[in-house]
């Protein structure tokens, strides 16, 4: 009788510990940090992608180029440009909101493995695509013939050939974080582009600064990070809730890009708004919306703009930013 009650107590204590030790306390499996140096005088590798052979990372930088990493000896080389008006003389090594109109500003990027084509969301030039050997992109038809306001991120359903992407809203053209957050803008939208039919469809409007998008492993929903409301929305693609959305998780800080892992969790890049404390965290969130791992990049990204992306690829984390001259790499 006594042993049974002791066992019961031990079990209850174990359950209590399991429930109360917050999973967000889980440390980071990626302690080491190194840098992939960008070309001279360039900054702002906002996001990264790898091609179907594992080549890369490829990244869009502030002077409008998409560059490809070719290993430590060669470093990054030119791969593609998004603006037909761009010249190397005018744009290489330069940055600033005025120049983006001419030079382009590629943010989100992802390969469609079936064709090897790279799809890119350029803030100014919209959704564009380039072949496996790069060069100047081709524009994808817009929605109802109108230009998008500010395209930021995309993710691709490889099985169906569908690109999901977000328009953050015109307030993002200011590039001023305080103004963006204070605007309480709700003009953000989620779209899909069907590669086979070339149709762009509006899926969800009323979003508050959508800046990241990630498809679930089973393709049943997409997650959208909202910069202004500091949360992650879920848009259902399948099942009884199809075409409706709900809140997947709230975030402590401003979320930026969201990238799925092979196993089906999501890495979210998060930074703090509250001056003078700025922080940059990568948080891995499971499919129940719970934080299960936190990696702290505050010391390596000690600048007002923090980090924009954390992406897990073959045992490493790749970290993006708007103002650094490198892609961060963390290893196990
Ligand atoms: C860029 O070029 C296109 C034509 O290729 C033109 O319509 C557009 O006005 C140009 N934009 C700028 C900012 O020069
Ligand atoms: C950003 O906007 C805020 C609020 O409108 C303003 O006080 C601040 O000066 C702006 N910052 C820059 C760098 O323009
Ligand atoms: C969701 O929307 C699509 C296209 O608008 C429509 O074809 C589909 O029937 C809708 N599904 C549900 C469950 O409402
Ligand atoms: C992240 O690191 C910074 C600088 O070392 C520290 O001030 C901050 O408390 C850390 N945040 C978390 C959540 O670990």
- pLDDT tens digits for the chain (332 residues)? 455 565 665 555 554 444 444 444 579 999 999 999 999 999 999 999 999 999 999 999 999 999 999 999 999 999 999 999 999 999 999 988 789 999 999 999 999 999 999 999 999 999 999 999 999 999 998 999 999 999 999 999 999 999 999 999 999 999 898 999 999 999 999 999 999 999 999 999 999 999 999 999 999 999 999 999 999 999 999 999 999 999 999 999 999 999 999 999 999 999 986 767 789 999 999 999 999 999 999 999 988 789 999 999 999 999 999 999 999 999 98
Distance CA 170, CA 177 (A): 13
Ligand nearest 241 Cα, by number? 3
Of the candidates 76, 162, 155, 79, the one whose C-alpha atom is nearest the C-alpha of residue 121 is 155
Q: What is the pTM of this model?
A: 0.91
57-67 burial string, b = 16+ CB within 10 Å, else e?
bbbbbbbbbbb
Length of the chain: 332
Q: How far is the CA of 92 from the centre of ligand 4 (A)?
A: 35
Distance CA 264, CA 156 (A): 15
Distance separating the N- and C-terminal Cα atoms of the chain: 48
How distant is the alpha carbon of residue 150 from its chain centre?
A: 15
Q: Is 286 in the pocket of ligand 4 (CB under 6 A)?
A: no
> Quick count: other Cβ atoms within 10 Å of Cβ 213?
25
Which structural domains are found in the chain, ordered by start? 27-331 (2.120.10.30)
Nearest CA owner, ligand 4 atom 10 = 296
Three-point CA angle 154, 99, 276, nearest 5°: 70
């Amino acid at each position: 009788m006594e042993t049974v009650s002791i066992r019961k107590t031990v079990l209850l204590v174990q359950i209590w510990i399991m429930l109360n030790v917050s999973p967000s306390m889980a440390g980071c499996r990626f302690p080491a940090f190194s840098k992939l140096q960008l070309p001279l005088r360039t900054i702002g590798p906002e996001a990264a992608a790898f091609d179907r052979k594992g080549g890369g990372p490829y990244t869009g930088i502030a002077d409008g180029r998409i560059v490809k990493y070719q290993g430590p000896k060669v470093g990054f080389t030119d791969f593609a440009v998004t603006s037909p008006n761009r010249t190397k003389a005018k744009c290489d090594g330069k940055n600033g909101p005025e120049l983006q109109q001419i030079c382009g500003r590629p943010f989100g990027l992802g390969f469609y493995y079936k064709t090897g084509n790279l799809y890119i969301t350029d803030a100014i030039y919209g959704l564009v695509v380039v072949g496996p050997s790069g060069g100047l992109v081709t524009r994808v038809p817009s929605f109802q013939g109108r230009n998008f306001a500010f395209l930021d991120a995309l993710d691709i359903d490889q099985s169906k050939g569908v690109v999901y992407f977000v328009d953050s809203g015109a307030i993002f053209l200011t590039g001023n974080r305080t103004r963006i957050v204070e605007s309480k803008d709700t003009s953000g939208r989620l779209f899909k582009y069907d590669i086979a039919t070339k149709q762009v469809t509006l899926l969800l409007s009323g979003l508050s600064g959508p800046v990241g998008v990630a498809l679930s492993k089973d393709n049943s929903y997409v997650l959208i990070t909202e910069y202004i409301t500091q949360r992650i929305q879920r848009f259902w693609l399948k099942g009884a809730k199809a075409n409706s959305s709900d809140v997947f998780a709230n975030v402590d800080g401003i979320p930026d890009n969201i990238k799925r892992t092979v196993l089906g969790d999501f890495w979210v890049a998060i930074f703090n708004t509250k001056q003078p404390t700025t922080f940059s965290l990568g948080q891995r969130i499971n499919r129940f919306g719970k934080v299960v791992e936190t990696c702290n990049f505050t010391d390596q990204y000690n600048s007002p703009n923090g980090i924009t992306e954390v992406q897990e690829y073959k045992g490493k984390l790749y970290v993006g930013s708007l103002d650094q001259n490198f892609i961060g790499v963390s290893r196990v």
